[in-house]
Structure 1
């Protein structure tokens, strides 16, 4: 069925028929709820279903050795315990439980894991990081994908995927699905143009530029009645198929959907391993959860940056390297070594995780004009908050962002370690105790390039899905 769909969408592209080759198993999705608060959590099975399209991934690369994510899914043989499939991921619940609200109440979030259909009953295990930052089993459930209660008949696709950048059969490529939310039927041409524009920009940024042929990009949007998505803090509420909105966890710029079921039920009609949701809004905003999805406001002047930065979170598990902007998460006194590849607690400089990039003689920690940067940033954040409070035009916010970036570049320009890789204090939303690899990077501010350490982190994930780059 899917090979026929691809031929209809991309006439003459016989190359893609390999997506639905006989060897490709079906795609299994396990939907469950994840509930709890800051102190405890529980899981409960919702349903097991067989998605409409065959597994898009390479079945020879089923095991994840990158050690990324706050969680990990493992699919094991129910009888022998042999590991058949694994992937690291993080969750919205994992972020929410660090908020102030999680200390006062419990909430429930929808989650899903997907894997190639096994030929035997399996046990699906969800692991999470423990106090040593190692994975331990948090929940497991036995799944027989041939059982009568498994959902195997699903409604027809509400929209057809659009091929944006097709390099070859899905099993040998990374499949990125760009979804739209807040685009009306009249906006469909705009959505396709936004998806093409932003994916084209992604492939101008290293290492995506050098690995563009390892990607397929698809676009899919279900039309809305009104343009744009909800911004509750400004009294704007709009219905949309994915339920994407601003103001997640009280942060005016944080854009996510909490309706995982709606997201997966639409996404399942296109091949994908990663998702970026474009919202048809001008207001600055976005978000990204490793292994789940990322979002970006396609109508904003900084959409190129938002698309790539948030995709860095979702695709590679890159941490935010900034620390002066207000966030919804509560700070912690512990300084456990982060699992993210681009931040460190620097417990042992001799064993720095990116030491291969550090030149001999580079001091660790690495000096930078931290005090002056923080002074300037306090003034900038005050102006930013005032603009939002007064609901000023987005053009004024964009001008402030340009001014801030120019000031930072000027401050850093003549610093002796400007282009060094070291350990610069201030990262992961904390002014002290965490360190980033470079003075400036796309994960630190609105600059336009990833540092070498972030590039390595991205390359590891491309290799996991598409194999090592050929020389």
Structure 2
């Protein structure tokens, strides 16, 4: 296998890469003509054999000092599940991006933005003094000829710069062509069309034993149905397929280190990621990818068999959700918002593991802003000219209430109280915040409301309330809803 890995400080400050002009032009077209779509699909067949190539690598480093991308190896998976026409992602989302180029012509064949666990870890205190590595994967159509895979990293100025390059020869014997089937039963929750013309969501379970597979089936159907009662997913259900895979675990439940609980689960999901008791992810990327490869997917939701409040969501990686929490409906939709549309957390009163004192720059996420350049506000077109910017709201009263809630929350966790106490606290919190935010003078308007992205000052959200701000799962705000619709349109080939 011919592999070149270019990494280093000089490369990280290298050339700025822009989206191709043809894709930028297509972005403004509501629906590409059928003939143009057929032409793009014909072009796809010319460079790809229709399968999926998964490129595995280790992402390691020390925050601000070094970043290393070390090749693990290429893997051939099943049929490519995505669009044959929409291949070069124009959405400009994610702290990372990768581009697949034909080595003979340098033409970009495929590109996609993404986020990573490494990228989040880099914002923690540990990353300032400890080197760690995380297994990651890139998936793209299997090429017929050698390609160059450029990994790009977003800078503070929001421009992408080269971080590393892998050279991939699809004919190399180093490509793992072993079967991906036989690791669990694949079944359909609902299907609305062929994978290449739909958004394909895959639901997996962790911490469900073989004897609990019927419970997993019930949970998967229940939470998939819940997602599609939430606008704008509700109106766009016909654009989705939802499938599931049975991945039985040896033990019931998953690891909860801060509670002294450790389980042998199929996918390795654990709470206490980065020291946050509610943050639950799997760091076993290879196991996850091998299981998921049995079905077509663009997005993955992992259901956690347990009652402890928790979950997580990373853009174009996966989302997780505890299925027995009193807040499960909120967790499922909120975390899927991160994974699906790169939506930022809008809350700022709950404790997080990240550095919240760093320099404020304009966030790349679509739903929060530093408002450093008002004329360029990313949701300016949704703002009524009569709405004051920044937009006043009862922030001081809200903050005072939340401070008391967070103290009680901390005490509940410190004494390892029954989960019912946390559920009751969150219900009390929602019963106060929901009507309080609804009666704000500008509650029905899109504006610029201070307090977002874990920052009380200096970052702003677009609405008083949203699924990304509180546990009120009634709705996504207009800005978040639009971001979700844009992803649906792109992935489903609209």
Task: Report TM bin, short chain.
Answer: over 0.9
**Counterpart for residue 105 of structure 2:** 80
CA distance in 1, matches of 2:174, 2:476: 46
Q: Which residue of 1 aligns with 2:82?
A: 57
The question of 1:283 aligning with 2:308 is answered yes
Distance apart, 1:157 and its partner CA:
2.1
Other-structure match for 1:445: 470
Q: Report what 2:388 is aligned to.
A: 363
Q: Give the conservation status (yes or no) of the 8 Å contact 2:307–2:323.
A: yes
Q: 1: distance between equivalents of 2:240 and 2:471? A: 25
Residue 172 of structure 1 deviates from its aligned partner by 0.3
Q: Secondary structure at the match of 1:148?
A: coil
Question: Which residue is 2:488 aligned to?
Answer: 462
Alignment partner, residue 10 of structure 2: none
Map of 1:226-305 to 2, 5 A cutoff? 226-305=251-330
Between the aligned partners of 2:179 and 2:126, the Cα distance in structure 1 is: 37
Shift of 1:357: 1.2
**What is the alpha-carbon distance in structure 1 between the residues aligned to residue 132 and residue 450 of structure 2?**
34
Question: What is aligned with 2:165?
Answer: 140
SS in 1 for 2:97: strand
CA distance in 2: counterparts of 1:208 and 1:173, whole angstroms: 13
* Contact 1:181/1:221, CA 8 A, preserved across alignment: no
Matched, 1:198 2:228: no
Q: How far apart, CA to CA, are the structure 2 residues paired with 1:450 and 1:28?
A: 34
Determine which of 11, 26, 48 is the counterpart of 2:74: 48
Distance in 2, matches of 1:381 and 1:155, equals 45
Matches within 5 A, 1:304-319: 304-319=329-344
C-alpha displacement at 1:149, in angstroms?
1.3
Cα 1:24/1:167, change in 2 over 3 Å: farther
Q: Determine the structure 2 residue equivalent to 1:398.
A: 423
User: Which aligned segments of 4 or more residues in structure 1 are displaced greater than 3 angstroms?
Assistant: none
Aligned to 1:15: none
Q: Is the 8 A contact 2:83 2:493 kept in 1?
A: no
Residue pair 1:24, 1:55 contacting (<8 A) in 2 also: no
Alignment counterpart, residue 218 of structure 1, candidates 243, 252, 258: 243
* Alignment partner, residue 200 of structure 2: 175
Instruction: Tell me the alpha carbon deviations over residues 417-438 of structure 1, each in whole angstroms, 9 at most, x when there is no partner.
Output: 1111100000000001100000
Shift of 1:24: 6.7
1:270-308 CA distance string (max 9 Å, x none) = 111000100101000000010100000011121111111
Change (3 A) 1:204 1:219: same
| Counterpart position of 2:209 | 184
Name the structure 2 match of 1:409. Answer: 434
Which residue matches 1:346? 371
Displacement of 1:156 in angstroms is 3.8
- In the TM superposition, what is the alpha-carbon distance from 1:264 to its structure 2 partner? 0.3
Seen in structure 2, the aligned counterparts of structure 1 residues 62 and 445 have a Cα distance that, compared at 3 Å, is same
Normalising by structure 2, report the TM-score. Answer: 0.89
1:331 corresponds to 2:356: yes
Name stretches of at least 5 consecutive residues in structure 1 with no aligned partner: 1-21
Gap change, CA 1:24 and 1:48, over 3 Å in 2: closer
Partner of 2:131: 106
Residues 392-429 of structure 1, C-alpha deviations (whole Å, 9 max, x = no match) = 11111111101101111232232211111100000000
**CA-atom RMSD, angstroms?**
1.3
Shift of 1:350: 2.2
Structure 2 residues without counterparts, runs of 5 or longer: 1-44
Does the aligned pair in 2 maintain the 1:157–1:266 contact within 8 Å?
no
CA distance in 1: counterparts of 2:299 and 2:417, whole angstroms: 34
- Equivalent-residue separation in structure 1 for 2:186 and 2:175 (angstroms): 26
